[in-house]
Amino acid sequence: MGETIKLIGEIFLLIGSFSLMTAAVGLLRMPDVYNRVQTGTKASTLGALMSFVGLAMMSFDHWQETNWVGRFLVLVIFILLTNPVSSHVLMRAAYAMKIPLSKLTSVDKLKEDINNKVLEEPKDE
Amino acid sequence: MKFKNIFVAFLVILLGWMLLTWSLELQSILLGVGISAVLSLLLCGSCTLFNEINLTPKAFAYSFWYLIVFLIELVKANIDVTRRVLSPSMPINPGIVKVETTLKSKMARLILANSITLTPGTFTIEINDDALYVHWIDVESDDVEGATKAIVSKFEKLLEVMYG
């Protein structure tokens, strides 16, 4: 039983590492900062999440003596709550600094609404 | 209303305590209850963070269901990202679209924005009144109704029950 859980944990860890690698490749390949943040956030969130779940499973044998399982669960919750927020801030700051969108971009409703005075321009604070 | 805020904060802090200490001894739990009570009274005596949360069994069931829907979407998002990043032609068609939400509660909007960010191909940039501006890696429809239906509606139904 313990060995099986450990094996599943190792597979989770492998998937997590692969996901983190995808994030790195995405940072290199994507055409502009918005797409880079986008791929980076998603892949790194699931990558970190999978790694922690895998590590929690690998330490499951000794769950009565050590409290790694609970600590990893707390880490997972914090990553799920905070990772998207920090990326929102990065993305919004990039837009406020007027970093250009890539040529592939087909539509920009935010620009239209700023031009139509529906909302104020985001300030670079 | 004030009592509900303190109560929810108490539960959250107690959950954190239980996870970090990871023991079910009576002593440790009693200490945790005491510390959580003091902390929630100190920190959340006048906060409005959990005002709109519904404390009914139905809302709890929907929260659980929401978590499952969200995790499935997160895995789908990663398969989607992997496909786009690793395919040689890189099939992307990015753009910023506008969607509208009917949610009024601040907390529900925070969860909605975070969920949009972690679901396939979409990323919240800016929020203004009822409008969210979403960066979409593969724009399927650039009008407000179509984008709202594709991005927001699956979470909104559940969040409306959780935050009335």
d(CA B15, CA B24): 12
| Residue B91 sits in the same domain as residue B38 | no
In a domain, B148, yes or no: yes
What is the number of structural domains in chain B? 2
In a domain, B126, yes or no: yes
Number of H helices, E strands in chain A: 4, 0
| Residue B66 sits in the same domain as residue B121 | yes
Residue A23: what are its φ and ψ, rounded to 5°?
-60, -45
Q: Do A106 and B94 touch (CB under 8 A)?
A: yes
Q: Which residue of B has its CA nearest to A84?
A: B114
| Residue B63 sits in the same domain as residue B38 | no
**Cα B25 off chain centre by:** 32
Tell me which residue has tokens 């991005």.
B151
In a domain, B98, yes or no: yes
pTM of the model: 0.81
In a domain, B68, yes or no: yes
In a domain, B49, yes or no: no
Domain span holding position B26: 2-43
Please state the domain extents for chain A.
2-115
Contacts of B100 (CB under 8 A, 6+ apart): B130, B131, B132, B144, B148, B152
Of A80, A91, A101, the CB nearest to B123: A91
What ipTM was assigned to the predicted interfaces of this complex? 0.79
**Cα A48 off chain centre by:** 8
| Residue B122 sits in the same domain as residue B155 | yes
In a domain, B52, yes or no: no
Q: Do A38 and B121 touch (CB under 8 A)?
A: yes
d(CA B61, CA B69): 12
In a domain, B102, yes or no: yes
CB atoms near residue A99 (< 10 Å): 12
DSSP 3-state of B97: strand
| Residue B38 sits in the same domain as residue B72 | no
pLDDT in tens, chain B (164 residues): 677 788 888 888 898 888 888 777 888 889 999 999 998 888 877 777 776 677 777 888 888 888 888 888 888 888 888 888 888 887 888 888 888 888 877 788 888 888 888 887 788 888 877 788 888 887 777 777 777 777 788 888 888 877 76
